[in-house]
Amino acid sequence: MSKLQELIQQYCPDGVEYKELSKILTIRNGKDYKMFQTGNIPVYGSGGIMTYIDTYAYNKPSVLIPRKGSIDKLYYVDTPFWNVDTIFYTEIDNTQILPRYLYHTLLREHLEQYNTAGGVPSLTQSVLNKIKIPVPPLEVQAEIVRILDTFTELTAELTAELTARQKQYEYYRDSLLNFNHKIDGVQWVELQEIFDIRNGYTPSKKNPEFWDNGDIAWFRLEDIRTNGRILYNSIQHITKNGVKKSGLFPKNSIMLSTTATIGEHALIKVDYLSNQQITNFTIKNACKNSICIKFAFYYFYIIKKQLDDIANYSGGIPIIDQSKLKKLQFPLPPLDVQQRIVEVLDNFEKICTDLKIGLPAEINARQKQYEYYRDKLLTFERKN
Among 352, 3, 333, CA closest to 179: 333
- Residue 173, CA distances (Å) to 131, 190, 368 in order: 43, 21, 30
pLDDT at 356: 66
Q: Concatenate the DSSP letters of all residues of 129-143 into one string.
A: HT-EEE---HHHHHH
Among 101, 96, 70, 91, CA closest to 4: 101
- Residue 182, CA distances (Å) to 186, 224, 305 in order: 8, 35, 21
Q: Kindly state the average pLDDT of the residues 118-139.
A: 91
Q: Concatenate the DSSP letters of all residues of 5-47 into one string.
A: HHHHHHH-TT-B-EEEGGGTEEEE-----TTSPEEEEEEEETT
Do residues 168 and 176 lie in contact, with contact meaning Cβ atoms separated by under 8 Å?
A: no
Residues in Cβ contact with 146 at an 8 Å cutoff, skipping those fewer than 6 apart: none
Whether residue 224 is predicted with pLDDT greater than 90 in this model: the reply is no
Strands 216-219 and 272-274: parallel
Q: Residue length, the chain?
A: 384
- Counting residues of the chain whose pLDDT is more than 70, the rounded percentage is 97
**The CATH classification of domain 187-327, taken from the options 3.90.220.20, 3.30.70.260, 2.40.50.140, 3.40.630.10:** 3.90.220.20
pLDDT digits (tens, 9 = 90+) for 6-45: 999 999 999 999 999 999 999 999 999 989 999 999 999 9
- Residue 224, CA distances (Å) to 242, 304, 368 in order: 22, 14, 21
Q: Kindly state the average pLDDT of the residues 231-244.
A: 79
How many other C-beta atoms can be found within 10 angstroms of the C-beta atom of residue 92?
Answer: 22
> What is the pTM assigned to this prediction?
0.62
pLDDT digits (tens, 9 = 90+) for 278-333: 999 999 999 999 999 999 999 999 999 999 899 888 777 889 999 999 999 999 99
Superfamily of domain 18-135: DNA methylase specificity domains (3.90.220.20)
The most confident of 16-20, 111-115, 170-174, 231-235, by mean pLDDT: 16-20
Domains 18-135 and 187-327 share a fold: yes
More confident residue, 298 or 121: 298
Whether residue 118 is predicted with pLDDT greater than 70 in this model: the reply is no
Distance between CA atoms of 360 and 351, rounded to whole angstroms?
Answer: 8
Secondary structure string (H, E, C) spanning 150-214 = HHHHHHHHHHHHHHHHHHHHHHHHHHHCCCCCCCCCCEEEEHHHHEEEEECCCCCCCCHHHHCCC
Domain boundaries, the chain: 1-16+138-182+333-384, 18-135, 187-327
